[in-house]
Structure 1
Amino acid sequence: MARRAGVPARSLAMVNRHPIAVALQALRQTLLGRDAPPGRPLLARWPRLARYAAPVGLLAALGLFWITLAVESDWGLPTPIAVLFAAMTVAPLLALPRRPLLAWRLTVLALLVCTFNAPADTPGPWTPPLALGSIVVVAVVVARVDRPVLAWLVAITAVPVLTLVRAENRAAVLALLGALAIVGDLIRRNRLSRHALAAQTELSEREQERRAVLEERTRIAREMHDVVAHHMSLIAVQAETAPYRLTDVPAPAAAEFVAIAASARDALTDMRRLLGVLRSESTGPQTAPQPDLTDLNAMVDVARRAGVPVTLDAGPDDGGRVPAPVGLAAYRIVQEGLANAARHAAGAAVRVTVRAGRSSLGVRVQNAPPDDVRARPDTEADAGHGLTGMRERATSLGGTFTAGPLPDGGYAVTAELPYDSESGDR
């Protein structure tokens, strides 16, 4: 059965069951069951006052203890019994904030036990502190329990009233008990309604946020498909057909056209996967294969076919210590570094160094000064989103990232990506 917002599972379990079974379960809950969950503290809206609630409450309980002890002593009870009755009067109030049902049980026990030597002019056999404390406990508890438990709670509380209160006062006490039960049930139902409304409102807001995110993702996917994918398709087609449209194409140039077409097709494949993710309503983890350190050689070969003189120095990943997220981040950093080197230092030699240490992976992409000196960006603001993306990948793993020109006129990006060498994961 689906659990409705704001309704306790215990209440739902009583639905559509035989009335006798419901009554017996409620009786067991009333006498021996788990306590009702504590409500919101009265001073929760005033945290400065809430810090004084505990000491003030203890002082009030101590004062109530001495008042009860004095009253019991005036009634002629021996000191040990007076102390016991005073403790039984105070104990329910101490348990009330955290354990309201336990406080009610202690209250019923006190009403049944603390009944000796009351003067003839008192309406009942209890001291004023015990009578007032019992009213407070019952008023709090009836607002915390569901109706079957509430019915048993009122019936059991009425037992000492019917047996110990004088006949002329029973109707008034029972009327007070009934009024407390009705008001408490109304308060509880109002609280459950407010909780259900708040839960429904929160659910609606989350659904609206989810729909807004999906709409934005769909818009981004549409723009990327209409603009980026279209141009990448044209690049792939033109690169594949260029050797057939041109005459006497040298073999190196033809190979470069082939490499351009292959890179464009790979980019289109990644683009289609990304568009599928953006258009999907699923927010769970993606299970599509992701590149890692083993794909560095293939990426470097593609760069070489595109005319970038690249040297790869990648140490072995002994035992697969580098976890997948770190390997993916390193791959993307090298990919962006090679793209930046080809864009800003065409023809310059590039060296890629990837080393797996005991607890971190070092990545460095360094290019020599280009023959044709161009304005190489020195800051992330000048470099667009490339350097920013690399820095974000490194810092998201708790690593470091640096990028900047070298004294000889070259450029280098360096990242240190930490991981747990024992578990293979951060």
Structure 2
Amino acid sequence: MEQSWVGTWWPALRRVVAGPDVPPARTPPERWPRLARFLRPAGLFAMVGLFAATLAWEYNRHLPGIVPPLFAALTIAPLLVLPRRPLLAWRLTMVALATCTFNAPPRAPWPWSPVLVLGSLLVLAIVAARVDRPMLVWVGLITVLPVLTLVHPNNRVGVLLLVLVLLVLGDLVRGNRLSRHALAAQTELSEREQERRAVLEERARIARELHDVVAHHMSMIAVQAETAPYRLAEVPDGARAEFTAIAGSAREALTDMRRLLGVLRSESTGPQTAPQPDLTDVPAMVDAARRAGLAVTLHAPAPAAGAPAPVGLAAYRIVQEGLANAARHAPGAAVRVSVRPGARGLAVRVENTAGPAGPSTAERGAGHGLTGMRERALALGGTFAAGPLDDGGYAVDALLPYDGEDGNG
């Protein structure tokens, strides 16, 4: 118990007396930047006024020579450093309380100037809200020493109660501030975790869709390899063995993909038996968007139908998400969808003009649609870009590589 006391309270006392200062809080000019040019001159004017009032009060005590200006400067000094160095301000206050009693009337209720009394209470309140609890106890004990020694006995109880109230309120303020900071940090952590989970779920969904597409083709390879020897007139024994090996490898690959799908699917997600959409379904989707009130035009050359199934699925989903974003973030805007096969792959672009209410705000969306589109493009080895246009609209561009031919139009 004694070792624990020494390890807790002795370092706290050293920090109070001669340790580094506590981190400063945001000053009013930092909290309200627009008022900074008014707050700083106002603060300087207030300090000059308090200095003059203290100086007049000290001269009325008939102090000799340079003593009144020194006492007035010592009274104002804690208030000058309080915004940046609260603990240093408290130390200067203790020095002022101990020295500014020179030539005070013996029966005076207060041996200090009113400015020093009010400033001391302000400094104590600020420090109480900035230091931890062990330091707060030492600050309170050291503060009451000049009160018990120099204050008139009739005023000691009231002053002690006032100091105690300030210490308790300061500790409550500090605890509330720490709780808000902890809550903000936890909220940020939760948001990051939700974003990461959304990305993982989107990747798993993409993997499931790719599985459905690729598994269909693997099954066709296996069936064709097994039936090829029966459809050919003459098949050498070596070729028959190769067909058998191809069919076996295809079925093994299909089994491995089904096992992978079992890992990707959650318990609440059943198998998807509906056929996956492709490029041939894009016109129907655009027609449905028109019927829903979206002003959309489609530019898709005929050779686009030759794209592989994974590329067609990714292009369909990108167009689908692009139309949804345009309808959500730029209602009433004109949308142009372009699906163009080229030498480097399938180029997909969804762009919208600025909505009647103003520029597009799709980049400020809270969902994860852009993340899903980017994941689909990158999964195929392609590229993806999205951003605002000069005219206030928004555009989504994806290049999905495959061995295609140049299209026209």
Give the TM-score normalised by structure 1.
0.55
Bigger Cα displacement from structure 2, 30-39 vs 196-205: 196-205
Task: Give the Å deviation of 1:138.
Answer: 0.3
1:27-426 aligned at under 5 Å gives the runs: 27-41=13-27, 46-119=32-105, 122-225=108-211, 227-237=212-222, 240-241=225-226, 244-247=229-232, 343=306, 380-383=338-341, 386-388=346-348, 393=383, 411=406
Where does the alignment leave 5 or more consecutive residues of structure 2 unmatched?
267-302, 308-336, 349-376, 387-396, 400-404
C-alpha displacement of 1:56:
2.0
Question: For 2:214, what is the secondary structure of its paired residue?
Answer: helix
Q: Deviations over 1:54-107 (max 9, x none)?
A: 332222122222222222233223453322222222221122112211111111
Q: Could you list the runs of 5+ residues in structure 1 that have no partner in the other structure? A: 1-14, 281-339, 345-378, 404-409, 413-426
Q: Number of aligned residue pairs: give it.
A: 292
Closer/same/farther in 2, CA of residues 73 and 278 from structure 1, 3 Å limit: farther
Q: Structure 2 CA distance, aligned partners of 1:153 and 1:109?
A: 14
> Quick one: percent identity of the two aligned structures?
53
Q: Greater helix share, 1 or 2?
A: 2
Amino acid at match of 2:118: L
C-alpha deviation, 1:120, in angstroms: 5.5
What is the distance in 2 between the residues matched to 1:204 and 1:16?
A: 41
Q: Residue 387 of structure 1: SS of its match in structure 2?
A: strand
**Could you tell me whether the CA contact under 8 Å between 1:92 and 1:106 is conserved in 2?**
yes
CA contact (8 A) 2:385 2:398 kept: no
Give the alignment's TM-score, normalised by structure 2: 0.56
- SS of the equivalent of 2:383 reads helix
Question: Could you tell me which amino acid in structure 2 is paired with residue 221 of structure 1?
Answer: A
Q: In 1, Cα distance between the equivalents of 2:54 and 2:99? A: 14
**Aligned letter for 1:106?**
L
User: Could you tell me whether the CA contact under 8 Å between 2:101 and 2:112 is conserved in 1?
Assistant: yes
C-alpha contact (below 8 Å) 1:243/1:249 kept by paired residues: no
1:212 shift after superposition:
4.0
Q: Deviations over 1:96-146 (max 9, x none)?
A: 112211111111111112222234574222111111111100011111112
* TM-aligned CA distance change 1:220 to 1:79, over 3 Å: farther
Judged with a 3 Å threshold, the aligned counterparts in structure 2 of structure 1 residues 81 and 19 are, in CA distance, closer, same or farther, namely same
Question: 2: distance between equivalents of 1:249 and 1:100?
Answer: 97
CA RMSD of aligned residues (A): 4.7
Q: Relative to structure 2, which stretch is displaced further, 205-214 or 127-136?
A: 205-214
**Equivalent residue of 2:25, what SS?**
coil
Return the offset for 1:341. 11
The 5 Å alignment of 1:2-17 reads: none
Q: 1:121 to 1:221 in 2, by over 3 A?
A: same
Describe the shift of the 1:176–1:342 C-alpha distance in structure 2 as closer, same or farther (beyond 3 A).
Answer: closer
Distance 2:398 2:190 in 1: 44
Q: Deviations over 1:227-263 (max 9, x none)?
A: 212123135435655753443699xxx9xx9xx99xx
